[in-house]
Amino acid sequence: MFRIALRSTVAVGFSAILAVGGAGVAAAGPVLSADPQEEGSIELSGQPDSESWTCALLGPAESTGPRMDLARSGESRGGFAEGSTVTALCAGPQWPMVTTTTGVTSLDDDDREAEGDDDNGDNGDNGDNGESGADD
């Protein structure tokens, strides 16, 4: 009876250690983010930064048709349509070794300013123009 209890305790202890240790591995992966240096570009980075990933990027081109390119962690690629979604198929030495992720390319300066506006077109103006509400 004592042996069974001891074995169960050891097994549960090792399971907890593996679960906590594996949580850090599960959070790892490539990240695609808009690169503000150039319109229609996307930057590839690893999470955490020390990871190295090589990815095949696929998305709509600036002109017509699809665009495919290869990038490594820390690199940026342009030539995609502004504000479009780019999919990456990535390979790396970290678990799970092969993964996919998506990101949105950068917009040009005019689009970034317009993106900050409200959808109703009033640019945050509540319509009172500073009036106190009293009729003249």
- Give the C-alpha separation, 49 to 52, whole Å: 8
Instruction: Give, in words, the CATH class of 29-115.
Output: mainly beta
Instruction: Note the pLDDT tens digit of each residue in 89-108.
Output: 999 877 778 889 999 999 87
Q: Over 80: is that where the pLDDT of 114 sits?
A: no
In this structure, what token pair is assigned to residue 111? 């689009």
42-47/54-60 β-pairing:
unpaired
- Give the C-alpha separation, 86 to 102, whole Å: 6
Domain range annotation of the chain: 29-115
> Which candidate, 41, 49, 45, places its Cα nearest to that of 32?
45
User: pLDDT value at position 113?
Assistant: 56
Instruction: Note the pLDDT tens digit of each residue in 14-67.
Output: 666 655 555 445 567 889 999 988 889 999 988 877 788 999 999 999 988 999
Q: Mean pLDDT across the stretch 118-134?
A: 48
User: pLDDT value at position 76?
Assistant: 93
User: pLDDT value at position 95?
Assistant: 72
User: pLDDT value at position 9?
Assistant: 77
- Give the C-alpha separation, 89 to 23, whole Å: 22
Instruction: Note the pLDDT tens digit of each residue in 65-79.
Output: 999 999 999 999 999
Q: What's the pTM value of the predicted model, to 2 decimals?
A: 0.60
Q: CA 27 → CA 64, 93, 95, 126, distances in Å?
A: 36, 15, 10, 43
Q: What is the DSSP letter of 83?
A: T
